[in-house]
Amino acid sequence: MNFKTFAAFVGPSVFMMLLFIAFPLASVLKQSFYVTQPVYETVEVETCSPGFPDQICVTEQKSVPQLDKDGNIVEITTFVGLQSYRNVLELERAWNAIKTDGLMALQSIDFWKALRFTLTFTLITLPIVVASGLGIALMINNASLAIKGPVIFISLLPFIITPVIGALSINWLFRGDGILTALIEWYLQRDVSMFAQAWTIEILIMLYRVWHVAPFAAIVFYAGLQTVNSDALESAVIDGASRWQRMKYVVIPHLTPLIIFISMIHLMDAYRVFEEIVGFSSQGYVISLQWLTYDFLVPDQAGNRSISRASASAMLTMIGIAVLLVPLLRRTWQDHKGGH
């Protein structure tokens, strides 16, 4: 393939990646080093009360945003270096909290609270998603041709549902007098509140993510099962290998590249968990790094947004994803080198 043909195929993809990924990422990185704030000026404001028989007027000094000739608020952008990252991490406060009350004291700091849940959510759901997806794939693969189509359709339904809608549905089933809450209360013969403590909310969020994502893993693994060497399986059967041994020594090694692929996709997606936080309305107990970035962008009572801190939080999230992907990328590179 000559260079012109290669460029014609690759050029549009490279352009779109630069336009929608690289440039926005560079912009966020730049914004994390700058703080934009409105310019305030002190003015005298006279306030009069409807007194009788005479009005009582009071003059006081107030700070109000400065306006330009068009009536827009005047803003100034200042380079602050790593200050936004320090504001997000709150390292000094975190260190003092650890010295005083131990690691659990970090739960009082938003970033470390969000980081703890994000890592827990990502690393716990990963093996469950892989195992569940492989189990569903094996079930589909072993189903008879007459029911294989309906089984695939039913298995894909959780993945088809929009994440926010699915999270809201699970929320309604468990919140207050929801159907599943009522069943649990009937079985336990006591009142149950699934949304009154953080650990039950975290369990529900994890279960929902596994239920939602496992079908995707299942379809990928099912496609991989169609390429398993039948001669190797027949040889293993002849040698007396059990079903588990065939799975361990033939099927799983064959599916290893797909397991790495699913793991990488899940790590990148789960580390950015956001829809479940909104759908379960768990902000009072459980927050994630992605939700923290969103919270920084919500205007305060004065209408200001912490764009610099939001950018710093987003960059820290990207760094976390990159760190988690390093072992998988290294394994992929080693397999690539070994293949040559």
Q: What integer pLDDT is reported at residue 37 of this predicted model? A: 81
Tell me what the mean pLDDT of segment 73-88 comes to. 88
pLDDT per residue as tens digits for the range 100-125: 888 778 888 899 999 999 999 999 99
Q: What is the pLDDT of residues 16-42, one digit of tens each?
A: 988 888 898 899 999 999 988 877 778
Confidence of residue 60 (pLDDT cuts 50, 70, 90): confident
Q: What's the start-to-end Cα distance of the chain, in Å?
A: 21
Mean of the pLDDT values across residues 212-232? 90
H/E stretch holding 93: helix 91-101
Helix (H) or strand (E) holding 133: helix 110-142
Report CA-CA distances (Å) from 235 to 200, 228, 230, 252, 255.
Answer: 48, 13, 9, 16, 18
Contact 155, 215 (CB under 8 A): yes
Alpha-carbon Rg for the chain, nearest whole angstrom, is 28
CA distance 209 to 230: 34
**DSSP at 67:** B
- Residue spans of the domains in the chain: they are 100-339
pLDDT at res. 123: 94
Higher per-residue pLDDT: 10 or 130: 130
Mean pLDDT score, 222-244: 86
| Predicted local distance difference test score (pLDDT) of residue 39 | 78
User: For the structural domain made of 100-339, what CATH number should be given?
Assistant: 1.10.3720.10
What is the model's pTM?
Answer: 0.84
pLDDT digits (tens, 9 = 90+) for 125-168: 999 999 999 999 999 888 888 888 888 888 888 888 888 888 88
pLDDT band at 48 (very low <50, low <70, confident <90, very high): confident
